[in-house]
Structure 1
Amino acid sequence: MKKKALTLILVLLFVAMILAACGGSSEENGSEEASGSTETTTLRLAENHPDDYPTTIGDKEFARLVEEKTDGRYVIEVYSGGQLGEESEVLEQAQLGTIDLARVNAIPLAQFSEDIGVLSMPYLFEDEEAKWEKLNGDVGQDLLATLDGSNLVGLAFYDSGERSFYNTEHPIEKPEDMAGLKIRVQNSELAIDIVEALGASATPMEYGEVYSALQTGVIDGAENNFPSYYTSNHYNVSPYFTVNGYQGNPEVLLASESLWNELSDEDKEAFREAALESVAVQREAWAELTEEARDAVVEAGSELIEVEDVSAWRDAVQPIYDKYGDQFGEWIDRLTE
């Protein structure tokens, strides 16, 4: 009798467990059906700047917007601080599809699309308003589309500020003041041509070597934006900063083509919208960082030479437009019209 009672109890417990499991499954499915959600896909976005840097802030806003616009079907994890590699490594991985998304500067993308090199032209835009109206508009999207065939898909441009010259010798107010100075530049033909058109001697050099080269007199100056001038401590050894914004290569938020091909048309539109909408947040963070850096170097003793009228500088670099006009002519017209 006891044995039968024990058997009955075990059967009842087994039935109860099955019913509980079915009930839980039904509740979960009902919840999914009510919310319209499906399986979540987690993506990786590579960022080589620190967690609180403006581009990282933009990345995170992009990730938030994608999750919102896809009802949680896509979640993007931002790996800041170069956790997934430096820009060159990240680009290779994105092309192979082992990284889903990345933020890189426009300069290295010129190896995949010569057209994007137009963004390195000096004094290209009349002002910041004109620049971002173009980059956030149809022209900017068309320029990003020239990456087709590289296994990369450009989504949006992020702000990287305006580059200006700074030096150890004297204030520079006009192009003639550049004469004879040895200025560090990136190792590119266009960068060299710009500095030499302004009358200085271009010295290609790795960025990490610039501080000691300024300190020892190997070079007389360099060029960059305020945050880089500050965080690199170049202001300690090169106190004259000419605010003339001669060049403004933007950053680029991009996707791996292998990821892109897996997205529905609706999700592609959601990713593009999220990218463009995140630009405002990224640019605001960049403006705040620029102001902080500017105030810091002034407080440290740097002399800022404000150039209100850059027409003389534009005239001085006309040979650059003569030389590269055939290569970039169409894009120059579209970006400046």
Structure 2
Amino acid sequence: MNYVKTLGAALLASVAFVSAAAACEVTLRSSDTHPEGYPTVVAVQKMGEMLEERTGGKLCIEVFHSAQLGQEKDTIEQTQFGVIDMNRVSLGPFNNIIEETQVPSLPFIFRSTDHMHRVMDGPVGQQILDAFSDHDLVGLAFYDGGSRSFYNSQRPIRSIEDLAGMKFRVMQSDIFVDMVSALGANATPMPYGEVYSSIQTGVIDGAENNWPSYDSSGHFEVAQYYTLNQHLIVPEVLVMSKTSFDKLSAEEQDIVRQAARDSVPVMRDLWQEREKVSEQRVRDAGVEIITDIDKTPFIEAMVPVYQKYVTSPKLQQMVADIQATE
């Protein structure tokens, strides 16, 4: 039923393409759950400008931000079916679909954002992008998703013991559920758009996310304790429907791939600026920021999560390659 509803929303939203399509021969429909002005939204819009220029006005992109076409799980299905042409999604919702995406979604797998960039810009990143082709999708590029940390409405979290019994929203990924469980808390998978009201009404105690999302979602208004434990640095991915991609000529496909790659530094610059602005906004709102935390017990608690998910030689090699990346 949810898919039918979101499919209908996507079809209704396509009416908005009439004027855009008049300017370009092909207007690619791109989805994003984040709001207008968010770094991922702007980066795809910039990619669209590159496409329009490099194809002489033949290809354009129209970005439907703010989950206009549905939440991430539903838009992934729509993109696989070709209803949506492009999609910016966190790797988390892909974890149960594409096993290679599980590795960069593991807690504490990256030492820093710079380390994540070097990994995802290299052979490991390409290996993950290539894996999308078996699922009716074309992996184009990786964007930043920032460092994710816990926030809640109940109390400051300074240790694993403080997490005991608390209910946290996580992305719809088994890895994230098991991560929270390993820390002694209760994981509640739910769409991003339902988090604010769920915290507000006490359905959950909190969630985990990065500075810009914590800010732009307004979650800091209802969950005023933010612990910078930085358990995840999960990249976001820009994908295209294989159905839509295959309709393009080989030359146009190359242009799309290159424009996606060229949008990455644009996104990263915007992300760094946005993180600073969001952090200041949250601090000015009086949120209690907890930084006096020993990450070692958190990292040690993740051993069973790695044992559960890093089982095949392929994934074990990926983890080793990431750890060996300087």
* TM-score (ref. length: structure 1): 0.78
CA contact (8 A) 1:62 1:278 kept: yes
The more displaced of 51-60 and 258-267 is 258-267
AA matched with 1:336? Q
Deviation of 1:153 after TM superposition, in Å, equals 0.4
CA distance in 2, matches of 1:283, 1:184: 26
CA distance in 1, matches of 2:108, 2:160: 13
Larger Rg: 1
Deviation of 1:270 after TM superposition, in Å, equals 2.4
AA matched with 2:31? E
1:44 aligned onto 2:28 = yes
1:324 aligned onto 2:309 = yes
CA contact (8 A) 1:46 1:82 kept: no
1:99 matched to which residue of 2?
A: 84
1:145 aligns with one of 130, 133, 155: 130
Question: Structure 1: where are the runs of 5+ without partners?
Answer: 1-39
Give a deviation string over 1:163-210, Cα, whole Å, max 9, x none.
Answer: 101123332233333234333334443222111212223344554554
AA matched with 1:237? V
CA contact (8 A) 2:88 2:239 kept: yes
1:256 matched to which residue of 2?
A: 241
Name the SS of the counterpart of 1:334 in structure 2. Answer: helix
**What number of residue pairs does the alignment pair up?**
299
Name the SS of the counterpart of 2:61 in structure 1. Answer: strand
2:295 matched to which residue of 1?
A: 310
CA contact (8 A) 2:71 2:193 kept: no
Give a deviation string over 1:23-74, Cα, whole Å, max 9, x none.
Answer: xxxxxxxxxxxxxxxxx64231312333322111110121122233344443
AA matched with 1:300? A
Question: Structure 2: where are the runs of 5+ without partners?
Answer: 1-23
CA distance in 2, matches of 1:81, 1:205: 16
AA matched with 1:47? S
The more displaced of 239-248 and 323-332 is 323-332
Taking a change above 3 Å as real, the CA distance of residues 273 and 194 of structure 1, as seen in their structure-2 partners, is same
Deviation of 1:128 after TM superposition, in Å, equals 0.4
CA distance in 1, matches of 2:273, 2:230: 17
Give a deviation string over 1:123-175, Cα, whole Å, max 9, x none.
Answer: 11011001011112232121011112222101001122221011233322333
CA contact (8 A) 1:43 1:100 kept: no
CA distance in 1, matches of 2:201, 2:67: 30
1:296 aligned onto 2:281 = yes
1:157 aligned onto 2:142 = yes
CA contact (8 A) 1:240 1:303 kept: yes
CA distance in 1, matches of 2:187, 2:29: 36
The more displaced of 195-204 and 129-138 is 195-204
CA contact (8 A) 1:241 1:304 kept: yes
Taking a change above 3 Å as real, the CA distance of residues 265 and 139 of structure 1, as seen in their structure-2 partners, is farther
* TM-score (ref. length: structure 2): 0.80
Deviation of 1:100 after TM superposition, in Å, equals 2.9
CA distance in 2, matches of 1:112, 1:217: 31
1:170 aligned onto 2:155 = yes
